[in-house]
Amino acid sequence: MRQHTKVQLETIAKKRSEQIGRSSPGLVTQTAFDDSGLRCAVQVLRDGQLVRLEFIESESTAGQGRFYDDYSEVAKGTGALVIMFPESKYPRDLASSIFQGIMSEVRKRAEREVEFQGFVYDDKGNLKPTKDPG
């Protein structure tokens, strides 16, 4: 199961990296997995400097409050946050609702304006934007 999850996350990361490359040719991406292999992040860099970190959560990690510190640290440091949840566990409307709660907490902790994008992804690796959590 863990290997299947890692392959799925790699697919999502690759597709997201391709999107970023098409929309912003000056940006470079790198993918990093946590120790569990159940979540990963796409590092978005410009001239070697971190612009943002995009979290790709698996069914095992999506929606867990224990990751709020990670989200807050990234938002505090970069002013931007992107989170992706699996649609199989969190349909768009539910993901949007959870993202609202995350952003409320992140904005309190970050003490700055934070640009946010939320996505859900399907089993084929397609990314679908959610509503802006405001």
Q: How far apart are CA 87 and CA 22, in angstroms?
A: 24
For 86-96, what is each residue's pLDDT tens digit?
A: 999 999 999 99
pLDDT, position 98: 94
What's the chain's Rg over C-alpha atoms?
14
- Enumerate helices (H) and strands (E) in the chain, giving the number of each: 3, 6
Question: What pTM did the predictor assign?
Answer: 0.93
pLDDT, position 133: 63
pLDDT, position 37: 84
Place of tokens 């349909």: 91
